[in-house]
C-alpha cells in the first residue's frame, strides 16, 4: 500500500469539548487485512462498534471492517468542510488533541484559501501529510450531533485517555 498509513482516531465529547482519546497509525508497508484487524481491536477496546471515514478503496473497507465486527459508514462531508467546521472548536479551546508531533505537523500544514467566487477551502500543503489529520477530524465529529454511540464512547473513554499506538510493520 504505497506510503500511506492506515489510521484511526477515537474521541469523545466532555462538557462541550471534543477530546481525542486514541490515535492509531499502522505504517506502510502493511497487510490491509491485518491493519484493519488492528484498528478494529482498538475500536472495540473503546466499545466502538461503528466508525466513520472516507470512501478510500470503495466497498473493500466496509467489508473488511464488517469481517472484524465493526460497522464502517461513509462520511457525507468532504474534508474541507470538516476542517472549516472544526476551526471554532480550536479557536475556542473546545478541542483537545494528543501530544503527537506528526499530528501537530499535519495540522500546521493546513492552508485556508478563498476561491474567486468567495468559497473557502481548507486542505494540506503539498507533501504536508494528512492521514492522522483525516482520522482525527472525523473522530471529533465537528458539527455532527452527538448520538447514543457518541455517549457510549464518552463512557468507555474515561478509563483509557491518551493512548497512542504507532504500529510499524515487522
Does residue 129 lie within any of the structural domains?
A: yes
Does residue 141 lie within any of the structural domains?
A: yes
pLDDT at 152: 38
Does residue 161 lie within any of the structural domains?
A: yes
Does residue 42 lie within any of the structural domains?
A: yes
Which domain, by its residues, includes 136?
Answer: 6-167
Question: Is pLDDT above 70 for 56?
Answer: yes
pLDDT at 3: 75
pLDDT at 54: 81
Does residue 94 lie within any of the structural domains?
A: yes
Between residues 102 and 151, the one the model is more confident about? 102
pTM summary value: 0.74
Q: What is the CATH number of the domain that holds 91?
A: 3.30.420.240
Residues 6+ away with beta carbon under 8 Å from 135: 7, 8, 9, 23, 53
Does residue 1 lie within any of the structural domains?
A: no
pLDDT at 148: 35
Backbone conformation region of residue 76, classed left if phi is above 0, alpha if psi is from -120 to 50, else beta: alpha
Q: What average pLDDT does range 50-60 have in this prediction? A: 83
Does residue 15 lie within any of the structural domains?
A: yes
What's the total number of domains in the chain?
Answer: 1
Does residue 162 lie within any of the structural domains?
A: yes
pLDDT above 70 covers a percentage of the chain that reads 72
Q: What average pLDDT does range 4-12 have in this prediction? A: 87
C-alpha cell, 73: 459508514
Tens-digit pLDDT profile for residues 113-144: 998 998 888 887 766 556 676 666 556 554 34
Confidence bin at 67 (pLDDT 50/70/90): very high
Amino acid at each position: 500500500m504505497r506510503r500511506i498509513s492506515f489510521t484511526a482516531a477515537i474521541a469523545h465529547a466532555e462538557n462541550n469539548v471534543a477530546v481525542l482519546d486514541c490515535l492509531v497509525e499502522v505504517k506502510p508497508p502493511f497487510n490491509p487485512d491485518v491493519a484493519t484487524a488492528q484498528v478494529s481491536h482498538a475500536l472495540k477496546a473503546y466499545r466502538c462498534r461503528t466508525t466513520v471515514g472516507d470512501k478510500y478503496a470503495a466497498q473493500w473497507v466496509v467489508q473488511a471492517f464488517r469481517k472484524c465486527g465493526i460497522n464502517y459508514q461513509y462520511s457525507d462531508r468532504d474534508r474541507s468542510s470538516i476542517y472549516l467546521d472544526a476551526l471554532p472548536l480550536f479557536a475556542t479551546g473546545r478541542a483537545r488533541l494528543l501530544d503527537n508531533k506528526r499530528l501537530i505537523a499535519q495540522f500546521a500544514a493546513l492552508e485556508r484559501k478563498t476561491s474567486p467566487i468567495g468559497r473557502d477551502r481548507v486542505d494540506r500543503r503539498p507533501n504536508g501529510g494528512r492521514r492522522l489529520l483525516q482520522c482525527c477530524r472525523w473522530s471529533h465529529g465537528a458539527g455532527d450531533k452527538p448520538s447514543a454511540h457518541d455517549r457510549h464512547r464518552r463512557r468507555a473513554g474515561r478509563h483509557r485517555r491518551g493512548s497512542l499506538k504507532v504500529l510499524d510493520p515487522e
